Amino acid sequence: MSSCYLETKSQYLNDVVKKTELKNQNEAEFLQAIREVLSSIEPVVVKHEEEYKKIALLERLVEPERVISFRVPWVDDKGQVQVNRGFRIQFNGSLGPYKGGLRFHPSVNQSIMKFLAFEQIFKNALTCLPIGGGKGGSDFDPKGKSDMEIMHFCQSFMNELQKHIGQDTDVPAGDIGVGAREIGYLFGQYRRIRNTYEAGVLTGKGLDYGGSLVRKEATGYGLMYFMREMLKANNIEIRNKNVIISGSGNVAIYACEKAQHMDANVIAMSDSSGCIYDKNGIKLDIIKEIKEEKRGRIKEYLNYVPNAVYYEKASNIPPIFNIKADIVLPCATQNEINLETAKVLLQNGVIAIGEGANMPCTNEAVEFFIENKVLVAPGKAANAGGVATSALEMCQNSMRYFWSFDEVDKKLEGIMINIFNQCQSAAKEYSCGNNYVAGANIAAFLKVSEAMKSQGII
């Protein structure tokens, strides 16, 4: 876990980090996200130190507006009552209704929820669309559950969540373990309890009841649009580059699809058990069949392509990161790439990292990449295409209308180009070279802080 926070030139900034550490001692992931953002906005804070200190701007920025935690009881197929913990973190609503996904995974806890909601504030600001930052989820494990169990869980979860959300209040969507099936069950229960067809209360809906074209593809496609822009700005072509993608869920699958459209060679993908390496290029139709239809394991790829290779996860370093590649797209989960793994990737000649997942690299790994001239596309910018398209879904729901696939895709591409340009300009203005991690944090912080200042002490 990342622990480094280098003292900055701003005493105020250092004090806020220390106070936040003291107040949130058991929240390692949250503190990791705080240290990353706060250390990189140093040049802005130094300029405005007295002003920010007087209005406790940073103290307010790191304190969620609201943390909601609740019991989720449900009955499994054997008639046994199960109890999970549900969360919704409404972190910062200064730019619009709280917006962010729901994660169902056994590792979910308050620290993970708060880090994700904190990241979401800045990600949403970069989209330039009117959405604040939030996140939610549960420690419920969807693996191995029947459709009925998933439905019962989602209904119980929504019985409580519905008190806190609404199309102008807080708009959840998917994340790990939450896709179209879960959003459908959640939406049905919300509609039943409220007796209103409030289409914009959730995004990532099915296309036949208010979903947007391209939402399913948006995070992965957006990641590749950002990657293409970043490489172009550094005179590198994406064509024929070898790519490895960790994960084989929603983000990974559509990053792979767009990478293949761009003529890159995707040679490996993974899940939490291991990875497959196919030197002839991943056959994405097979991955989609295994993951989207059968909800199976990636190892089953060998049943279709016997000459591919499967590496089981055995050590600290997920096996996919031992495979030599030019471009590495971590699209599974937080802290997949630590310093040790980063060193292996560099030795293998990596030139660019694209964070499809949220915070997949530890702070030490990011620093190491940047020091060694590896380009890093930071998650809060590079994976913003998903939430941006969610905001486009809300927009279509408000109009009671829909746009074609090409219309939404063009808007997404434009948004991603704009996000890259913001990261690049902020990095340039604050003398950070091609450190787009700093660029993203600075550009997003400037937006959020201006909105917070305008709205008074709340």
Find the binder of ligand NDP among 86, 97, 172, 177 (CB under 6 A): 177
Least distance (Å) between residue 18 CB and ligand NDP = 28
Find the binder of ligand NDP among 137, 172, 354, 386 (CB under 6 A): 386
With CB atoms as reference, the residue minimizing the distance to ligand NDP is: 249
Residue 331 within binding range of ligand NDP, rule CB under 6 A:
yes
Could you tell which of ligand NDP, ligand 2IT, none binds residue 176, using a CB distance below 5 to 8 A set by kind? ligand NDP
Could you tell which of ligand 2IT, ligand NDP, none binds residue 99, using a CB distance below 5 to 8 A set by kind? ligand 2IT
Residue 422 within binding range of ligand NDP, rule CB under 6 A:
no
Nearer to ligand 2IT (CB atom), residue 46 or residue 207: 207
135 tagged catalytic: yes
Q: Which of 99, 135, 241, 447 is catalytic?
A: 135
Find the binder of ligand NDP among 97, 249, 354, 378 (CB under 6 A): 249
Least distance (Å) between residue 117 CB and ligand 2IT = 10
Nearer to ligand 2IT (CB atom), residue 216 or residue 241: 216
Residue 251 within binding range of ligand NDP, rule CB under 6 A:
yes
With CB atoms as reference, the residue minimizing the distance to ligand 2IT is: 101
Residue 203 within binding range of ligand NDP, rule CB under 6 A:
no
Q: In the 3-class helix/strand/coil scheme, how is the chain assigned residue by residue?
A: CCCCCCCCCCHHHHHHHHHHHHHCCCCHHHHHHHHHHHHHCHHHHHHHHHHHHHCCHHHHHCCCCEEEEEEEEEECCCCCEEEEEEEEEEEECCCCCEEEEEEECCCCCHHHHHHHHHHHHHHHHHHCCCCEEEEEEECCCCCCCCHHHHHHHHHHHHHHHCCCCECCCEEEECECCECHHHHHHHHHHHHHHHCCCCHHHCCCCCHHHCCCCCHHHHHHHHHHHHHHHHHHHCCCCCCCCEEEEECCCHHHHHHHHHHHHCCCEEEEEECCCEEEECCCCCCHHHHHHHHHHCCCCHHHHHHHCCCCEEEECCCCCCHHHHCCCCEEEECCCCCCECHHHHHHHHHCCCCEEECCCCCCECHHHHHHHHHCCCEEECHHHHCCHHHHHHHHHHHHHHHCCCCCHHHHHHHHHHHHHHHHHHHHHHHHHCCCCCCHHHHHHHHHHHHHHHHHHHCCCC
Nearer to ligand 2IT (CB atom), residue 5 or residue 225: 225
Which residues in this chain contact ligand NDP in the complex, by CB under 6 A? Answer: 105, 107, 174-177, 219, 247-252, 271-273, 331-333, 356-358, 383, 386
> What is the set of active-site residues?
135
